[in-house]
Amino acid sequence: MTKALVQAFFSLLHPRMLLLMLWPLLIALVLWLGLAFAFWSQAAAWLQLQFDQSAAIGWTVGVWPLSLLAAHLAWILLALLFIPLVLITAVLIIGAFAMPVMVGLVAERAYPALERRQGGTVAGGLWNSVVALAHGSVKVVPR
């Protein structure tokens, strides 16, 4: 088991594998930065309007440190949502496009004698990513 973990660790450090993990993150970051550049002000204004109409936020106006926080709460919330959106998008891109290539690379380097079968398509990776995302967001409540 230790040998397999060490081999997996060194597979992750292969330059091609590192590139396969980084380019989806960069694409997701550029995508969300573009959307943020285009819509950040409108989203922040809408959230601030919702907060201003909220009774839960209204009581903070009289308290100095809390009023400062309430004035910037929309921007803080958008900034906190930005990181998970980038990471979830990157994981979906990795699952759809990079994972089939990663599996092929590991099979080629670590298991050259293993029989190759069909599969590992972009459509299959995209389907697996969507199912995993949907399954992870659904909470099952026991009866």
pLDDT at 63: 64
Helix (H, G, I), strand (E, B) or coil at 72: coil
CB 73 within 8 A of CB 51: yes
- Would you say residue 141 has pLDDT above 60? no
- Write the pLDDT tens digit of every residue in 56-88: 666 666 666 766 677 788 888 999 999 999 999
| Residue 75 CB neighbour total at 10 angstroms | 15
pLDDT at 60: 65
Question: How far is it, in rounded angstroms, from Cα 102 to Cα 36?
Answer: 31
CB 115 within 8 A of CB 70: no
- Would you say residue 41 has pLDDT above 60? yes
What is the full DSSP assignment across 113-136? Answer: TSPP-S---HHHHHHHHHHHHHHH
User: Which of 5 and 126 is assigned the larger pLDDT?
Assistant: 5
pLDDT at 14: 86
- Would you say residue 46 has pLDDT above 80? yes
Q: pTM of the predicted model, to two decimals?
A: 0.72
- The whole-chain average pLDDT of the chain stands at 82
CB 20 within 8 A of CB 98: yes
pLDDT at 11: 82
Query: What is the band of 22 on the pLDDT scale with cuts at 50, 70, 90?
Result: very high
pLDDT at 10: 84
Question: How far is it, in rounded angstroms, from Cα 143 to Cα 141?
Answer: 6
User: Which of 38 and 52 is assigned the larger pLDDT?
Assistant: 38
Question: How far is it, in rounded angstroms, from Cα 104 to Cα 17?
Answer: 11
